[in-house]
Amino acid sequence: MLARVWLIVHTNGVLAGDEAMVGIQAENILRGEHPMYYYSQPYMGSLQAHFIAAIFLSTGPSVWALRIEPLFISLFIVFLTWRFSSVLADAAQLSARTKTLFIVIATLVAALPPLYDTVEEMRATGGYVEAFAIMLWLLLCAFRLTYRWRAGASARELALRWAGFLDRSPGYLRAVDHHFVDWGICTFRVHQTTTKKCYTPTSSRT
């Protein structure tokens, strides 16, 4: 965390154009807009802009406040790496010493990646760092589900685990997980509706 804070401070408040666009979108969210996509791109969501808007609500718009959100998400990635490596070590039935060494190395790689990766994690460019966190989270959930499936769990238990009711994650994480699912379904439906409107043939003129 100290290394990330050091990098944030030494940027001297300089923003790239993509980051400025995320900040503008976050400000517009506070004014009552509810965008589903990143501006001018119908394939990137606005999740990061909503997170930043929540921070702006308490701190006010600023470059430093914009940098806080990627910092928190990068720390969440470190936590997910620690959790996933622990689950993998348990499944591999490693000895206590080997398990500890494996978890420490994996967590340190996530906490102290190469400089380029660290800088990319610190940028609010529309949701890249959130994508890393979500992918790692999905890997963890899929591994748990398949592990129980191979262990002969009942269909009812697998369904409940897929829905998140038997997951050992904290309640707020399950709530965010369901939010991602709902957001994805909503995005798919809006895309379908837009596609139908764009490609519906008009009646020929007589």
User: Residue 158 in contact with residue 148, Cβ under 8 Å?
Assistant: yes
Per-residue pLDDT band at 166 (split at 50, 70, 90): low
* Spatial CB neighbours of 112, under 8 Å, sequence gap ≥ 6: 3, 118
Per-residue pLDDT at 39 = 79
- 187 half-sphere exposure, CB direction, 13 A CA radius: 17
pTM above 0.85, yes or no: no
User: Residue 123 in contact with residue 70, Cβ under 8 Å?
Assistant: yes
DSSP type of residue 43:
E
On the question of pLDDT at 89 being above 80, the answer is yes
On the question of pLDDT at 114 being above 50, the answer is yes
Q: Work out the average pLDDT over 144-172.
A: 71
Q: Which residue has the higher pLDDT, 150 or 177?
A: 150
* Spatial CB neighbours of 91, under 8 Å, sequence gap ≥ 6: 143, 147
Per-residue pLDDT at 70 = 86
Q: Work out the average pLDDT over 166-174.
A: 47
Residues above pLDDT 70, as percent of the chain: 73
- Name the least confident of 65-74, 78-87, 100-109: 65-74
Q: Work out the average pLDDT over 63-86.
A: 89
